[in-house]
Amino acid sequence: MKKHILLMLMGLAACSSTDDSIETVTVSSETVAVGDVPVDVRFDAGTDSVIYSIGGSTIATLSRDATLDRGSFDGFQDDPSDDYAFRSVSASGDSAITVGAADGSPTILSATYERINDTAIPVSGATTFTGDYLGLITETGQTELLSVVTGDMSLTANFGTSMVSGSISNRVVGIIATGAPNGDAATDLALEATGLDALGGFSGDASGSAITAGSGSLYTITSGRYTGLISGATADETVGGVVIDYTRSMGSTGPTGLVETGGFIATE
């Protein structure tokens, strides 16, 4: 029988009880953002919209747009602005990921992931999660979104050794408005082995992926990170974000650099 530590998601500060087998912690939405702008991305169930805000001030409200749906990710858009969001929620409702882009100088990219309900984290055994990935790509330092990339997510968690590792494969780069391939190609992304903390959180390096533009220019990773949480009532889900910086390493056409910001959601 697996032993578990019960994580209770209650607010904005972490604390522990006097019972050594139980920890009461706070797990709030966590944001991975490019640049120094603290973007808050919030879903409003009442209006079925995604709201971007900075410093408490709303900068964009994105309405549901089913034509943008990509796999398990629902699409949202602020028309005619170049603001997009893609949101996926697990069948249990215990996990959610929102990947978005708000027009700015430069474009603000963000991935906000949520562990919504209590999670019992095993202290032994291992499992593999599979699911979906979606990212948005823009030129480094610029305001125009270039493309959307989708892929298959796989993450293995070993609770006995407190390690996770995985990959994002079958990556397809497409046009944001339609999802149709745009002529670019992306190789698999490795999620390198990293530690799993007692509260089910992890953060590690992402490597290996390269993007070949339709023009023939090649973009390779200069830095990549992934972060996430084990989630679900019985730790049967995972959710997280990815940020990758690319530099043009071959060719003379197109941007000198790219930024990809995405998120994943997966289940056993």
Model pLDDT, residue 36: 47
**Which residues sit opposite 83 in a β-bridge?**
78
Task: Please give the single-letter amino acid code of residue 116.
Answer: I
Instruction: Walk along the chain (268 residues) and give the pLDDT tens digit of each residue.
Output: 343 333 333 222 233 222 333 333 334 444 444 444 567 778 899 999 998 887 788 888 999 999 999 999 999 998 767 788 999 999 999 999 999 887 665 667 788 888 888 888 888 899 999 999 999 998 887 767 889 999 999 999 999 999 999 999 999 999 988 889 999 999 999 999 999 998 899 999 999 989 999 889 999 999 999 999 999 988 999 999 999 999 999 998 888 999 998 999 999 9
Predicted pLDDT at 50: 92
Predicted local distance difference test score (pLDDT) of residue 220: 96
Write down the pTM of the prediction: 0.86
CB 138 within 8 A of CB 106: yes
Give 169-216 as a DSSP string.
EEEEEE-TTT--B-S-EE--EEEEEEEB-TTSEEEEEEE--EEE-TTS
- Contact between 131 and 167 under an 8 Å Cβ cutoff? The reply is no
d(CA 209, CA 224): 9
The pLDDT assigned to 79 comes to 73
Domains of the chain: residue spans and CATH: 30-35+88-267 (2.40.160.90)
